[in-house]
Amino acid sequence: MQFDTHVVRLNSKLDNYLSTQGSLTEAMRYSVLAGGKRFRPILAYCVASLFDTDLNKVDSSACSVEFIHAYSLIHDDLPAMDDDDIRHNQPACHKYFNEAQAILAGDGLQALAFEVLVNDPLLDSKTKIELLSTLTHAAFKMAEGQAIDLSIVSQSVDISVLENMHRKKTGALLSCAVDLGAITAQCSVEDRNILREFSQAIGLAYQIQDDVLDVEAPVGVLGKNQHSDSDKNKPTYPSIIGLSESKQSYQALYKKASSVLELLSVDAQSLQALIQKLQIRSF
């Protein structure tokens, strides 16, 4: 399957970048190479592939967005944040090492993400600037989303507040991955707008689905503690609109994403297949 090929490619590149990070190497490798769905890099590769882009030019974007994602997970798991002890079916970084080392590992991964893009010899300066601008914007939105998440614990909020938080905390980086692929491919403005609408739909769908899986998926499959959000009194889609309607919501968003792709100037079969794969995921 094409997705598996992308994951193998990505893991090799990640391993290479993480081989020489000084005293932070062990903690950074522990968190990044432990596993994960690699959904964001897969998006970048798939989008660029639609336009027959040389994937060697996409590697830095794919690695960068995964480094940002990994850094966010390390920091989210900290006691001062979500206070989670398990990630990818292993102790969270701060539990395996310590809190200080986890903070520094996250900081290192964030910096490495931008370094990888800046030093890519296959990209021209204009492309690098656009990629860096896109990634920095998404990283800030993600942090803003986490701040909202922490501020609404034990509060009764409207579904619009939750949607805004999800679009920033989760959706921003997913949309960024799509944008990075589109920028590298240098596709038309029209196609980029269509891909942006697609990414916004799957970004929200993905998080609503995560809220549902937090309720339904066992810990051994989920890779982290079950009922993590409800145990912390965090508002979720199921807690606000119910489990059944939450499922209908994310399914409708995936359907919207699929319909939007039909407007592209190229055949988006790989992205359609990815939507199908996401709809039946169990973690």
Q: How far apart are the C-alpha atoms of 253 and 106, rounded to whole Å? A: 32
Kindly give the parts of the chain with pLDDT less than 50.
Answer: none
Q: How far apart are the C-alpha atoms of 171 and 221, rounded to whole Å? A: 23
Q: What pLDDT score does 225 carry?
A: 63
Q: What pLDDT score does 216 carry?
A: 87
Q: What pLDDT score does 227 carry?
A: 63
Going from N- to C-terminal start, the domains of the chain cover 2-279
Q: What pLDDT score does 222 carry?
A: 58
Strand partners, 90: 87
Phi, psi dihedrals of residue 261, rounded to the nearest 5°: -60, -25
Contact by Cβ (8 Å): 229, 236: yes
Q: What pLDDT score does 226 carry?
A: 61
Contact by Cβ (8 Å): 30, 96: yes
Q: What pLDDT score does 125 carry?
A: 98
The superfamily in CATH containing domain 2-279 is Farnesyl Diphosphate Synthase (1.10.600.10)
Q: What pLDDT score does 223 carry?
A: 59
29 Cα distance to chain centroid: 18
Q: Which residue has the tokens 């970004």?
A: 203
Q: Which residue has the tokens 């060697």?
A: 56
Q: How far apart are the C-alpha atoms of 68 and 140, rounded to whole Å? A: 11
Q: What pLDDT score does 283 carry?
A: 79
**pLDDT digits 0-9 by tens, 206-227:** 999 999 998 887 766 655 566 6
Sequential DSSP letters for 92-129: -HHHHS-HHHHHHHHHHHHHHHHHHHHT-TTS-HHHHH
